[in-house]
Amino acid sequence: MNNTIPEEYLDLLAWEKKAFAHLAIVLRDGAPHVTPVWFDYDGEYVIVNSALGRVKDKVLRRSGIAALAISDPDDPYRYIQIRGKVVEVTEQGAREMIDYLSKKYTGKSYQWYKGETRVTYRMLPQLVSGMG
Amino acid sequence: MNNTIPEEYLDLLAWEKKAFAHLAIVLRDGAPHVTPVWFDYDGEYVIVNSALGRVKDKVLRRSGIAALAISDPDDPYRYIQIRGKVVEVTEQGAREMIDYLSKKYTGKSYQWYKGETRVTYRMLPQLVSGMG
């Protein structure tokens, strides 16, 4: 395990692959929680986006840690596990970020915005391991 | 949220769908951990299988809790979240169970058995919620 993304798994994080990440967090009561999320990887940080006050927002701010599993949509036996250390939580540019992510996954800007305050989380990959 | 699988999401748990589950657990240091896994649902319990001494085995025995996200392979925006309370950890029939799961996903009995002690975990669904 290491703190960088092995080159042979970089394609899983690429824009063109459009892979979802399964983001796991630990709730206040100590229970795990996992949901599929959109993400981007800018070569250094894994970036996700949520909205102020949601479970993910509260937990990522409090705990500063998440785990991600990113499977190859073309081969479910090939995936990468990443522990993400939250190094930035920001509302700045977060509205643009959800549009950016939406374009990656849907080809269009974000259609479901209802005036919530969007938040962007930048995570530094740690304990990375690939499988398959 | 409720403790049963809503009827409209039962297809995600069906043998024919061959959906993977993303299983999240909480490690001893409090960090989350998530991996894709094979599973079965027998109408009452969500069943997964691992091997004695692995991370999943140790954590599921100790914590007694997991979270699962099961996405529709045909529509990634449709998924179900399940909190699973571990109600049984057993080696009995666990070798047969991994064959059973392997047949579900690969059509063949388990090809990677290397003499490890297989373990089956039965989890009672709690706090179930569907999306999409």
The answer on pLDDT for B23 being more than 70 is yes
The residue length of chain A stands at 132
- Burial string for B64-79 (b: 16+ CB within 10 Å, else e) reads ebbbbbbbbeeebebb
Provide the residue ranges of all domains of chain A, joining segments of one domain with +.
7-131
For B65, the 3-state DSSP assignment is strand
pLDDT in the model for residue A132: 87
Residue B2: is its pLDDT beyond 80?
no
Average of per-residue pLDDT values in chain B:
96
pLDDT computed for residue B3 by the predictor? 80
Whether A85 and chain B come into contact, CB under 8 Å, resolves to no
pLDDT band at A1 (very low <50, low <70, confident <90, very high): low
Q: Tokens standing for B23?
A: 């299983």
* Nearest residue of chain B to residue A28 (CA atoms): B30
Q: Which amino acid is at A1?
A: M
Q: What is the structure's pLDDT at B1?
A: 59
Rounded distance between C-alpha atoms, residue A99 and residue A106, angstroms: 10
pLDDT in tens, A11-37: 999 999 999 999 999 999 999 999 999
The CATH class of A7-131 is mainly beta
CB contact under 8 A, B34 and A71: no
What would the 3-class secondary structure string for A21-67 be? EEEEEECCCCCEEEEEECCEECCCCEEEEEECCCHHHHHHHHHCEEE
Category of B36 on φ-ψ map: left (φ > 0), alpha (ψ -120 to 50) or beta: beta
Residue count of chain B, please give it. 132
- Helix, strand, or coil here: B82? strand
Classify residue A105 by its DSSP letter: H
**Greatest Cα pair distance in chain A:** 41
In the block, residue with structure tokens 């399940």: B82
Q: Within an 8 Å CB–CB cutoff, is residue A60 touching chain B?
A: no
The amino acid occupying position B122 is R
Binding-face residues of A in 33-52 toward B, CB within 8 A: 33-36
Residue B79 to residue A36, Cβ atoms within 8 A: yes
Interchain contact, A34 vs B24, CB within 8 Å: yes
**Lowest mean per-residue pLDDT among B61-65, B73-77, B87-91:** B73-77
Average pLDDT over every residue of A53-62 = 97
ipTM of the complex: 0.95
3-state helix, strand, coil in chain B (%, to 5): 25, 45, 30
Closest to B131 (Cα-Cα) out of B59, B84, B71: B71
Please tell me the pTM assigned to this model: 0.96
pLDDT tens-place string over residues A71-120: 999 998 999 999 999 999 999 999 999 999 999 999 999 999 999 999 99
Q: Give the pLDDT score at B58.
A: 98
Spell out the residues 6+ positions from residue B16 whose beta carbon is closer than 8 angstroms to its own.
none
